C-alpha cells in the first residue's frame, strides 16, 4: 500500500494533513499506537522540512505488514552538511519562520529518534531525498 502527497514550499496551512492521513491508514491496519506515533512524527517533520526549506516535493509512505517506509523528496537548496543538520538545535530556518514557531532545529533529530533506519541524500542547489523506515 502506497500513499503519495504533493508538498508545496511555504504552504504551512496544509502541513500536517499528510501525517494525519498516514495515521488513519496505520490505525486501520491495526498498527500498535507507539509505532503509529513514531511514523506520524517522521512523516510530519519530513513534510515540514519540505515546507520550510524546499520549493516543492513529494512525501510517500509505503506500508507493508512488516514496515513503514517514508520517503521525502524535494527540489530545493539541499543540505550542505548533513551531520551538522542532524544536531539538535542546529537550524538554517530564517527568523520569520522561527517566529511562527517552526525551524527550531529539531526536525532531523526527531526523525532520527523516531525511525529505525534513516538515509539522507542531498545535493546543494538541487534537492534532498530522505528515506526513513520504521519496523512494525
Q: Contact residues for another protein (CB under 8 A)? A: 1, 16, 19-20, 23-25, 27-31, 33-34, 36-37, 40-41, 43-45, 63-65, 110, 136
Other CB atoms within 10 A of residue 36 CB: 21
**Which set of grid coordinates corresponds to residue 14?**
496544509
Q: How far is the CB of 92 from another protein (least distance, A)?
A: 20
Q: How far is the CB of 48 from another protein (least distance, A)?
A: 9
DSSP for residue 12: G
Q: How far is the CB of 129 from another protein (least distance, A)?
A: 22
Calculate the CA 32 to chain-centre distance: 20
Calculate the CA 50 to chain-centre distance: 8
Q: How far is the CB of 98 from another protein (least distance, A)?
A: 14
| Residue with Cβ nearer another protein (12 or 78) | 12
| Residue with Cβ nearer another protein (16 or 78) | 16
| Residue with Cβ nearer another protein (34 or 95) | 34
Whether the Cβ atoms of residue 128 and residue 120 lie closer than 8 Å to each other: yes
99 contact partners, CB below 8 Å, separation of at least 6 = none
Instruction: For residues 83 and 9, give the distance between their C-alpha atoms in angstroms, rounded to a whole number.
Output: 23
Instruction: For residues 121 and 91, give the distance between their C-alpha atoms in angstroms, rounded to a whole number.
Output: 18
| Residue with Cβ nearer another protein (62 or 75) | 62
| Residue with Cβ nearer another protein (3 or 10) | 3
Q: How far is the CB of 38 from another protein (least distance, A)?
A: 9
Amino acid at each position: 500500500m502506497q500513499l503519495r502527497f504533493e508538498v508545496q514550499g511555504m504552504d504551512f496551512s496544509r502541513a500536517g494533513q499528510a501525517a494525519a492521513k498516514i495515521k488513519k491508514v496505520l490505525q486501520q491496519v491495526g498498527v500498535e499506537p507507539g509505532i503509529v506515533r513514531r511514523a506520524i512524527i517522521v512523516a510530519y517533520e519530513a513534510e515540514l522540512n519540505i515546507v520550510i526549506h524546499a520549493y516543492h516535493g513529494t512525501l510517500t509512505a509505503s506500508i507493508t505488514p512488516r514496515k513503514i517506509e517514508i520517503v521525502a523528496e524535494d527540489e530545493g537548496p539541499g543540505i550542505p552538511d548533513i551531520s551538522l543538520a542532524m544536531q539538535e538545535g542546529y537550524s538554517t530556518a530564517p527568523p520569520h519562520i522561527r517566529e511562527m514557531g517552526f525551524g527550531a532545529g529539531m526536525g532531523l533529530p526527531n526523525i532520527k529518534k523516531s525511525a529505525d533506519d534513516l538515509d539522507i541524500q542531498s545535493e546543494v542547489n538541487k534537492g534532498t531525498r530522505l528515506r526513513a523506515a520504521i519496523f512494525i
